[in-house]
Chains A and B, each alone.
Chain A
Amino acid sequence: MHIMEGYLPLSHCLGWAAVSLPVVVYGSRRIIRLLNEKPETKMLLAASGAYVFVLSALKIPSVTGSCSHPTGTGLAAGLFGPAVTAVLGTIVLLFQALLLAHGGLSTLGANVFSMAIAGPFVAYGLYRGLTGIGASAALAIFAAAALGDLATYCVTALQLALAFPDPVSGTLGAAAKFLAVFAPTQVPLAISEGLLTVIVMNLLQRYSADELSALKPAVREA
């Protein structure tokens, strides 16, 4: 879902960066506060960031005959909230932009917005909403991770459509075309990401009950 270097006009790059920067700054302050108040969650925070690292490095084949990668942000969003996840996602995007020429510095703001902000917000909302109405943590994290993943790709399609409106059908037409590229490829990957995140959540509930309860109310026992 990474928009490649130089593929957005300068004004869009600056605009998305202006939207993303405050969230990342706020998220950094949340992390500092979290580590001061609940230092026992430090390792879990690192592991959640590592999960984003792993998943966004895996380019997985999809039924459409093309490859894409999951985002891995749903877990951190469910556990720590979207602002903290924005920081973790930004670190990964920066790593890939600088070392892998995957994504880019000029498009960093836009990519942070889609992968590290929009997706995690959707994931967080779903996780809190579903656990709030009594769904099991497994079901809630599945929906959060899978639909957060899809949301990221929908936002990317929209960002590209805003920059490259279709000459005939305009921005909406272009959005439909970009979605047609991303969505069919991403749906099976989103399901994979959801299932994988359920495994991690199962392990966490078994081995890290202390940390999960320290993170309440961000995490509630199902």
Chain B
Amino acid sequence: MLKRNLLLLFAVIALAILPLVIHHGGTAEFNGADNEAAKLVETLRPGYQPWFTPIWEPPSGEIASLLFALQAAIGAGLIGFYFGRRSASGPRSAPGRRPEKLAPGE
């Protein structure tokens, strides 16, 4: 199962790197699709002004990336904690299912 999961993980990473390779040296800006949608709003309704602005905005891109990293870290930490606890107690077997062999290093 470890092998299959690693293969899946490589596929995910490849899918994220591929666009960077394809557009290497090109003009792609890798803007957020949300901003692209906002631009489309501007062409459909020229001069549209949002009627409400965020009550607080991260003062800079650095602080925004800090908070995004924090969000991912909280999530990843919790998931790691969860699987850490579960794997420490060993693979549980459902009725009629034989426990699988432990992969090396686990």
Partner-B contacts on A (CB < 8 A): 1-7, 9-10, 43-44, 46-47, 49-68, 95-102, 104-106, 156, 160, 164-167, 174, 177-178, 181-182, 185-186, 188-189, 191-192, 195-196, 198-200, 202-203, 206-210, 212-213, 221
Contact = CB atoms under 8 A, between A and B. Distances in A.
A54 B15 CA distance: 18
A203 B83 contact: yes
Interface string B1-20: 10011001101100110111
A106 B53 CA distance: 9
B58 interface: yes
Contacts of B77: 50
A177 B32 contact: no
A59 B1 CA distance: 28
Contacts of A50: 74-79, 82
Interface in B64-91: 64, 67-69, 71-72, 74-79, 82-83, 85-87, 91
Q: What are the nearest 9 A-B pairs in CB distance?
A: A6-B50, A65-B28, A53-B75, A54-B75, A50-B78, A6-B52, A207-B86, A47-B82, A209-B94
Contacts of B69: 57
Contact of A177 (B1, B9, B40): B40
Interface in B26-68: 26-34, 36-38, 40-41, 44-45, 48-58, 64, 67-68
25 contacts: A43-B82, A50-B76, A50-B79, A54-B76, A56-B71, A59-B68, A60-B16, A61-B20, A62-B19, A65-B29, A66-B33, A68-B34, A101-B57, A160-B37, A160-B40, A164-B40, A178-B40, A181-B33, A182-B37, A186-B33, A192-B16, A196-B9, A202-B1, A206-B91, A209-B91
Main secondary structure of the interface of B (DSSP, over half): helix
B55 A4 contact: no
Contact of A101 (B56, B78, B94): B56
A203 B28 contact: no
Contact of A207 (B11, B20, B36, B92): B92
Contacts of B55: 98, 105
A207 B87 contact: yes
